Chains A and B, each alone.
Chain A
């Protein structure tokens, strides 16, 4: 019944070994409703997902969910920019989940199956559940220390993930009572993600995954003066995910990848990954696997086919034969502001052949930036927009607001000056003499 997915897609090897967990491709489904039970997980495997993180198990009695659970932040065309949920961990019994996990792992041996866990922050609780999970044959565990709603009230989830000492402690118990890889899932609802990652590392974690969802209220029903999702006449904050959180997730992944203590800690990237390009970006910042939830919830499991196809074609084009060939390649180029080259100069150039004369670059620059674009109107009323090179600071705003792809390009200028950081810059009043 099971079908092996081919490691070689378009001549590229997409398989990974993530902290000892093998997977035919880097695309995993994150711990969430899509991985709640055997039925969904098997459909996902059949569609081609390399792995799943089974929806978080907890102690019995199972959690109880409310009715009305999701809401979204919509774009103008009803595209879902961000997604919000107020669901808790699994609402099925531990025993049923464990039985299903064991059977699915047996039937799909080539796929990664990781079990997400959340139990009270007591050694006994972990000592009890970990052997049960180990017995299923699953490939590893992911500690859900980041669920921002419902569970913190019970001393679990984000409440643990926001306390580095507790992160370290729980990771240590897991390594003590469980023999396979332990991944710690990090909450973004903190000030410095590096502290949490370092704590996981100290506790012996084999990897971290991030980000979990962000505290959010997506919108207010202005007729009834209540936020969404609405439960009766009330609402509560939920956890935010989907495309809108990708930039936040990328930054946090980069922070950990750049941080000396955690630089070699495997990272499973999570946060708004919707297509192969998003996935490649996470890998470029050091992620060894990627986890997807919202995009699958909106479009179904079939999206993994486009992801594998797109990623492998791009890799083939670039000459990358495996993910290792480009994993972390963008990390070294991600630095602190103070190391940026103060002598670098780029200015905007408008391609008059593709310009449609909408005037957006002009008004954006004129009203809100550096008055660096001239609006020239000839006798026939034809409008033309030109960059005033001497005024342009290279901010990119015009390029961003331009509706035509590649019409405005930022052109680096030859200044003849060498690299100079802010530390070296004579304009820096705090410059340290080197």
Chain B
């Protein structure tokens, strides 16, 4: 195994003997981070919405949900109607309600967040309330008459699923090719366990597929057992929702030593396990990075029972891509934040395992990050890197895929998510636009579906 953590103690053994230690207690550390609103709380909160005209929250929502409308529907105790308002724009509204950084989107723009109150309406939790409590008689959206067209969607993450659902609604038949054994993408594998509890990602996909007309194929990896040219030949259109599969490298010697692993790999294991006590636990651990993945990694390790978790970032807190809210979560869990330091050397013990990390202090001079020459070491049983995800080069290696125009490493798309190749579209984290948010991926997939639909209709008319 490339990233070996097997020498570490199991979480169950490491915390054994501590007061209150039990598998149940450990599991409880990963229960809902933000418990849902009760019906009463939701009703009261919904009254706080001012039903703004041209509401700023809607402008801030990447997926165009009519927020004042769904909140008003909650206030009128029309929960099914509220959920419908959400889902018609964002079929993954349930997971977005859980993972969206609302503090930098809708809730930041809420007029009740103005200086006079500084108390935005809890839009995220209200969205969760509506989507959790809706009881539809069958799937709420109907398929249009069968168009006879077949579209391939690569990747069953938020972008691919949203695209597939919208295509199905528009009457097309869709085949989704997914490299993993389960659908959901980051919702299933990449989000902190306490943000997506009760197998929600799976349930949400089940709901989404109820629309019909979508066939799922797992273990299908582009550039491996799947070729773009073949999909292009077999289908009327192809949507690429590949995500960013590869963890960036630190570029240091010893990067593959046991004890050093990508945070996303560990989080994936943590999300899939049925038994948290069997997870490898680093009592002293270092996380390198400043995004939400770094925060998720550090916080989860602290909750698993680590004694010391240090998050190290080469710039200051204000430059961290993790929101202030996320940073607070980490701090509340005892994570130490160490800024202005960059990794220089992986320290290993006599057996070649990670024993710590040497960092150099940094500073910024005229916008340029520089080392100060001063260095220090942090002892650690494991080091997790969360310095961003890159494009998995292999996935676009076949003859046709390698022709796709790129913006940097990401796939170039136009405003309608068309790539440089005819009948090939792309969206989500693998394309250039956007901030790598679930809600944005959903929007990409949805808009791409409309572009595909339009292009198919245009072709039909031309024929």
Contacts and interface: CB of A to CB of B under 8 A. Distances in A.
Contact of B111 (A76, A358, A375, A381): A358
Contacts of B51: 360
Contacts of A383: 54, 56
A359 B52 contact: yes
Contacts of A359: 52-55
Interface string A99-134: 000000000000000000000000000000000000
A381 B59 CA distance: 9
Nearest to B44: A77
Most buried by A among B55, B59, B75, B114: B114
B217 interface: no
Interface string B18-48: 0000000000000000000000000110010
A360 B50 CA distance: 8
A363 B111 CA distance: 16
A383 B111 CA distance: 11
B75 A76 contact: yes
A363 B114 contact: no
Given A76-B75, A404-B116, A358 B44 contact: no
B116 A360 contact: no
A381 B53 CA distance: 14
Main secondary structure of the interface of A (DSSP, over half): loop
Contact of A357 (B44, B47, B56): B56
A362 B53 contact: yes
B423 interface: no
Contacts of B52: 357-360
B232 interface: no
Nearest to B46: A76
Contacts of B268: none
B53 A363 contact: yes
A356 interface: yes
B112 interface: yes
A403 B50 contact: yes
A358 B50 contact: yes
A358 B116 contact: no
A409 to B, nearest CB: 16
B111 to A, nearest CB: 4
Contacts of B43: 76-77
A354 interface: yes
A383 B112 CA distance: 15
Interface residues of B, number: 16
Nearest to A405: B116
Contacts, number: 36
A360 B47 contact: no
A375 B116 contact: no
Contacts of A76: 43, 47, 75
A358 B117 CA distance: 14
Contacts of A356: 111-112, 114, 116
Which residue of B51, B53, B54, B56 has the most chain A CB atoms within 10 A of its CB atom?
A: B53
Contacts of B112: 356
A403 B37 CA distance: 25
Contacts of A363: 53
Contacts of B54: 359, 375, 383
Nearest to A367: B53
Contacts of A375: 54
Contacts of A360: 50-53
B71 to A, nearest CB: 12
Interface string B128-151: 000000000000000000000000
Interface in A362-381: 362-363, 375, 381
The interface centre, meaning the residue of A357, A358, A362, A381 with most chain B CB atoms within 10 A of its CB, is A358
A76 B111 CA distance: 20
B294 to A, nearest CB: 31
Contacts of B53: 358-360, 362-363
A77 B112 CA distance: 18
Given A358-B53, A363-B53, A383-B54, A77 B47 contact: yes
B389 to A, nearest CB: 30
Interface string B54-88: 11100100000000000000010000000000000
Contacts of A381: 59
A138 B258 CA distance: 95
Contacts of B50: 358, 360, 403
B57 to A, nearest CB: 11
A354 B116 contact: yes
A77 to B, nearest CB: 5
A81 to B, nearest CB: 14
B220 to A, nearest CB: 42
B75 A357 contact: no
Contacts of A357: 52, 56, 111, 114
A354 B44 CA distance: 24
27 contacts: A76-B43, A76-B75, A77-B43, A77-B47, A354-B116, A356-B111, A356-B112, A356-B114, A357-B52, A357-B56, A357-B111, A358-B50, A358-B52, A358-B53, A358-B111, A359-B52, A359-B53, A359-B54, A360-B51, A360-B52, A362-B53, A375-B54, A381-B59, A383-B54, A383-B56, A403-B50, A404-B116
10 residue pairs, one from A and one from B, having the closest CB atoms: A359-B53, A363-B53, A356-B111, A356-B114, A358-B52, A358-B111, A358-B50, A76-B47, A403-B50, A359-B52
Given A354-B116, A358-B53, A359-B55, 8 more contacts: A76-B75, A77-B43, A356-B111, A356-B114, A357-B56, A358-B111, A363-B53, A403-B50
